[in-house]
Structures are given as structure tokens and as C-alpha cells.
Structure 1
């Protein structure tokens, strides 16, 4: 770790991106406050759906670009795009139709889709292989912590920066966006200070469509993997998407802007705790543990319907976010072990695409359902769906162990082989 921290290029990269993630944590809180103030829940749902579309549709394109050009240059361009979106929100919110804000949100999603693959692939160019494990762990903890602090800072600015002005919430949200924009500027400067060389173009990049089909076939041959990816699609559209829209609405009405910032902060803290837990805990049945952990998200949805004190909701945020972090850690390791290295990029891209393919639909429909059935019914339904989907998949062979089980006809041979191999 000392050698890692002594690496000047890594430290510039790490600190610059930690500042950038601080801004990322401010964005959802500031966006919720600003759009809800001027356009209400329906407008907020549409803005989120546009962002999700902008992020999900070009995701594979972002990976191709990251493999063809300098990754720090790609990240810097993405940050310029997102900085422009932030400036657009500051200048245009409340003065322009919702369609314009929707376009801005989609552009912000595109910037994130451009940034993410390049960011994930950059460390392998900056550091030798033996330092990547420590670097990824350090980067992950710093990012989760910065995201949590960003959410809390945005909530504080929204609650205080506007003073006694009639549109104090909007004023505070603009200040939060201004700080967010400054973090992108810091990131751009640090990225330009450590330019990475362009990655050599490979045949794999030229055959994107053909190899994407191969990735789909590889997943289809493992039903337990396909089932969990499908589970993610369902849970996002009927659980996570409604929660994303409803939390800022309920939290700001129930606890105020600072309360919403507090919830965002402790959601990030919960993610850190989950990551630290899984570093030490090695479950014998990771699929069962992962589904128990995923089910912990249900109280976060349920408490949208129940007016609990802020500290109770904070506890739910901690447990739920920790559970999600544990699930994704176990799921990522399972995919890395199940698929060969030359397939993993396509498998992870497919996992992301299937998880979020219907997210825009869920985000856009939630405000409509909110008016039709009410927030309590929608929140209870989301909580029930999370629990049901989490445990229903455990009946699929391979899911409890997060691995492809041996064929029944070879179980005895496999056991005998393992016994002879271990003595």
C-alpha cells in the first residue's frame, strides 16, 4: 500500500476522481430538488427516465470508445459533457420547458456512459498487475465515501443556501450544481495531467456485434446466470425505479432537504460497510447470502409508506445499502469465476444492459402510478416485489451456490474425484 500511495500518477488519478465522485453524489439530490420544485413528480420521473435512456442505450459504444482511444482523454471529454449539463441545469431550470431538461438529462446519461468504461479500464494502464487489487479496493472505498459526502453536502446547501427567499430550494439546488460543476473541472485538470496512451485497436473491437452475440450465448447456456439477470430487470422496474422517484418526494416532504441529504449520506455509508464486510466474510452458499442481502432493500421501500422517524429510516438505509453492496460483490465474483477472462467484458455489459433496460419505463410510469394508487400502496408493492423476487430465484438450480452445478449423472464421479484429489 505504501508503494501504491507513493505512485504520483495514481495519486493524481485517485484524488481527481474522488473529487469527481463527490460531485456525482450531489447530482441526484440537486436534480431532485430543482426538478421537483419547477415540474413536480411527473417531471422528475421523466427527467430520470431520460437520464437512464442516455446512460443505458450507448453503454456498449462507451466500451468500444474506451478501447480505441486514450482513456483519460475519453474521461475528460465525458466530464466536459457533464459539466455542460450542470451549467444547463443552473441556467435553464425554471426558464425552459421540461423537454429541454429531459434532453439535458439524456446528455448527462450519455456522458456517464462514456466515462464509466474508460474509468474502469484506466487503472490497468496506470499500475502494474500486482497493485490492482489494493488500488481497486482503495478506489472503491474512496468513491463510496465521496458519494455519501456529496449527497449530504447537497442536502445542506439546498436547506441553507437559499436563505429566506421564496424559491429557497431552487436557489440552494443551483448552488449544489455549481459545486458539482467545480468537481468536474478538477477532474478534467487531473486527467489532462496524466495522459494515458491510446490502446491498440484489436480484432475484438472490430467484431463488436459478433462477439456480443457470443456473450449472450454463453449466458444462455447457464440458466442460473440468465435467471438472475432477468431478476435484476424485474426488480429494477418494479422496485428500485419507484424507490428512486419516491424517496426524494417523501423525504423532502417528511424530513426536509437536509433530511434527504442525510439519507443519501447514510446510503453511501451503508455501501462502504457492505464492502468492508464482504472483504472478511466468505459465505459457503453465496447465492443464498446474496438474496438475503438483497431482500434488506425492502424496508427502504416500505418506510416510504410508513411515517417513521428519520433515525429509523437512516438505519434502513444503512442495512439496505450494505445488502446491495454485499449482493453485487458476491455476484461480480461469481461471474468472474464462471466465465473465462475473454468473455467477462461482454457478460458484464450484458448484465448492466439487462438490469437497466426497463429502468426508464419504471421511472416514467412511477409518477402516474403514484397518482392512481397513492404512494403507500406503491411503496408496499415495491417492497413485496423485492422480497418475492429475491427468494423465488433460489429454486433455480445453481442460484444458491452462484455456480454451475455438476450434471446429476456426474455428481458421484465429481465427488470421488474431489476425495482422491484432496486425499
Structure 2
């Protein structure tokens, strides 16, 4: 492999000598044999915590400056637009630039944005456009972060540890990012101010950046074309070549997706699933709790906590087990069947029933995500992994705003029960179509990913 920006380093590295011995680590902990991943995992914990604090602190900063629901919507929309616009470009960059550099830049950008807002808040100079601009830039950083992170992992750990890595990360995001971070933010805002909470988020990102800098720089796992025109060019000619190269890279990623039945079928199924479930989950559940079950914000928090805890449990269990032999079938079936508890939510008579259903949905939504991340990292060619990860990211986020926008009107037209029934039943049918239509059972047997035991 050639890399004009950094020399390759010998990764995945050998396990640390102090960790060798007759005792085997539990499967979920095997990636931590490698010091590179211990550092990257620590950075992930810190930035996930900071992100969770930032999300809640940002809400209360909007409120502190006198903003209402419309102002908060404007800020969150700016962040969503920032994520969507460069989502596909992020994959192109991840396949051309050493991924560590991308993560360092994106983490630094988010750190600078949080630090700026903290300074403005402490001096009482914050304006709504400041928050919207920072949210937009942070969203753009996320669009570059995700494909680079996904493409970097196989260069840091051996492929037999990837399932455990994805299981650990699937546990960190709901527990640290969606539970601990927001809880700490709420406590800091209550005890002090939104300014202090934003400063806590910035401090966590600073810690994550410092740890990330300790991870070794690895080479791009791709043969990059060498310029033959005597230089990179300048002016409009250089810009035109850059645009053509970017479009060619995007076409190559799209072409691989279209030519790969398991990838295309799963992404199409995932887009349908996201469209029918995210609106009911994010928009309708709070109103169901308030209007139908007589609950309040605390009950909603309990329900969402159960969703996050379920996701953490599902991720940790999946990461602790071997890759299923029928990994494509199990993955899609878990997603499809995992939406069935929406029926319980639609016909619930008590908040605890909604909480129990949310736990099951979280577990059965996150468990196949562990398989999916590992599948991409093991079956997608290294030189295409960033672009395929960005396609996956784009599919995951592009229909969320549409789903949230139509959930309310649809529920008003056909009722909450019918809307939740659609969310429960459509993904299962779509999963069956994907499995049978793309012949996934035959594909997974022809391309086994399960590690077979090695005879001594």
C-alpha cells in the first residue's frame, strides 16, 4: 500500500507482554489487549460523555437566552443539516487521508466550538445564531468522523476482535453518551448553569483529544494514484481535477453497493425501518405517555433510559459471543422482529409496559448493529470501507427528519394504535423480503465469518 502522508506502522500490534499467559480474557475484553485500542476506546468514552453533556447543555443554553421550542428547533435543524450535507464526502476523505488525522481534526473542531460557546455563555454574549452555527459545524465534523472511525478500526485490531470492539462501542454510546452524560449535564445545570455544563463538555472533549493523539498513525489501506502532471496543479484546473476525483470515488462506492446484494438489500431494508420507526419512537412516545397514560417528563426519561440500557445489554451480549454462522439472516431478522414491541407501546395501558417494550426494542436494535459494523469491516474491501460506511451513515440519518415530520400527521389521521402497528409490522415484512430477495442465506454460507476453533 502507498501512503504519501504517513509511513505505515506495524498494526494490528501484538498484545502487551503483561497480558500474555494461560488465562484468556473474556471475549468482550479481548480488544483491550492492544494498547492502541485501549487509547482509542478511552478517547471514545470521553468524547461520548462530552457529547451527551453537550446535547443537554445546549438545550438549556437556548432556554437561558430566552429561546423557546422554535429556537431550539432551529439549532437542532442546523446540526442535522450539517450532518447530512457532507455525509457522502466524508467517506471519500476517509479512504484517502489517514483516519487518525481526520479524527484529530474533527474532535478539535468540536472542542473549539464548545469552548467558544462556553466563553460566550460565561460572558453573557451568546446569541441564537452562534449556537446554530456551532451546531452546524459540529454536525459536519460528525459526518467526517463516523466513516473515518469505522475505516480505522480494522487497522488497529485483528479481525477476530472486531465483533468485541463493536459490542463495546454499542455499549458505550447508550450508557455514557445517552445516560451518564445527560444526567451529569442536568445536575450541573441545576447546581450551577448551562455555561458550566458546556465547559464540562469541552473538558471531556479535550481529554478525548489528548488520548487520541497517543494512538499510532496508520497508513491509508489503499493504493492512491500518483500524480503524473508534474504537480498537483493549481487554480481552476486543480479544483476541477479534485471535483472529478471526488465524484469518481463516490461513483466507485455507489457501484460497489449496487453490485453487492447483501449490502444493497440491507441498506434498503434499513432505510424502510428507519422511516417507519424513528418518528413514532422520538415524536409519538412522549405524547402517548402524556396524553394517554397520564405520565410526565420523568416517565419519558425512564422509557428512554430503558431503551438505552436495552441497547447496551444487546451490544455487550452480542460482542461477547462468536459471530453467528447465519449472520446476515440473524441480523436482519433481529431488526425486523425487534420492532414488534411497538405493538405493546401502541396498546399500552401503563408506563411500565412502554418501558419494558423500549428495553426490548433497544436490545434488538443494537445487537444486530454490532454484527453489521463487524460485517462491513470484514467483508468490504479496505480501500472502500470509508465510502461504504458513509453510505450506511447517510441512509441512517437521511430519512429520520422525514419520519419525524410525518409521524404526527399520520397519527392524527389513522390514530396512535395504527401508527405504532405500522412501526411494529412493516420492518418484519421488509426483513423477510430482503433475506429472500437477495438470497442472504446462501451468501452467508458462501462467505463464513465465524471463527472456527483451532486445534492445538
Indicate whether the TM-score tops 0.5. Answer: yes
Which deviations, in whole Å up to 9, do the C-alpha atoms of 1:106-147 show, x marking residues without a partner? Answer: 2111121222233233344445x3xx5336624641562364
CA distance in 1, matches of 2:114, 2:358: 27
Listed as ranges, the matches of 1:6-405 within 5 Å are 7-31=34-58, 39-87=67-115, 90=118, 91=120, 98-127=128-157, 129=158, 132-134=159-161, 137-138=164-165, 140-141=167-168, 144-145=171-172, 147-157=174-184, 159-163=186-190, 174-194=195-215, 196=217, 199=220, 202-203=223-224, 207-221=245-259, 225-241=263-279, 243-245=281-283, 254-256=295-297, 262-278=302-318, 279-280=321-322, 282=324, 284=326, 286-287=328-329, 290-297=332-339, 299=341, 303=345, 308-309=350-351, 311-332=352-373, 343-363=384-404, 365=405, 370=408, 377=415, 381=419, 384-395=422-433, 398-399=436-437, 402-403=440-441
CA distance in 1, matches of 2:57, 2:337: 28
CA distance in 2, matches of 1:377, 1:343: 44
CA distance in 1, matches of 2:81, 2:271: 15
Larger mean Cα displacement after TM superposition, 329-338 or 188-197: 329-338
Larger mean Cα displacement after TM superposition, 106-115 or 283-292: 283-292
Contact 2:341/2:424 (8 A) holds in 1: no
CA distance in 1, matches of 2:134, 2:417: 29
Which deviations, in whole Å up to 9, do the C-alpha atoms of 1:365-407 show, x marking residues without a partner? Answer: 36xx64896699468525523521331452356358635679x
Instruction: Give structure 2 stretches of 5+ with no counterpart.
Output: 1-14, 21-30, 227-241, 447-456
CA distance in 1, matches of 2:131, 2:86: 19
CA distance in 1, matches of 2:346, 2:73: 17
CA RMSD across the alignment: 4.4
Partner of 1:193: helix, strand, or coil? coil
CA distance in 2, matches of 1:28, 1:145: 16
TM-score scaled by length of structure 2: 0.68
Q: For residues 236 and 96 of structure 1, do their structure 2 counterparts lie closer, same or farther at Cα, with a shift above 3 Å needed?
A: farther
Instruction: Give structure 1 stretches of 5+ with no counterpart.
Output: 407-413, 415-423
Q: For residues 9 and 161 of structure 1, do their structure 2 counterparts lie closer, same or farther at Cα, with a shift above 3 Å needed?
A: closer
Contact 1:299/1:316 (8 A) holds in 2: yes
| More helix, by proportion | 1
CA distance in 2, matches of 1:62, 1:337: 20
- Give the C-alpha shift of residue 55 in structure 1: 1.8
Partner of 1:17: helix, strand, or coil? helix
CA distance in 2, matches of 1:307, 1:44: 32
Contact 1:152/1:265 (8 A) holds in 2: yes
CA distance in 1, matches of 2:399, 2:435: 26
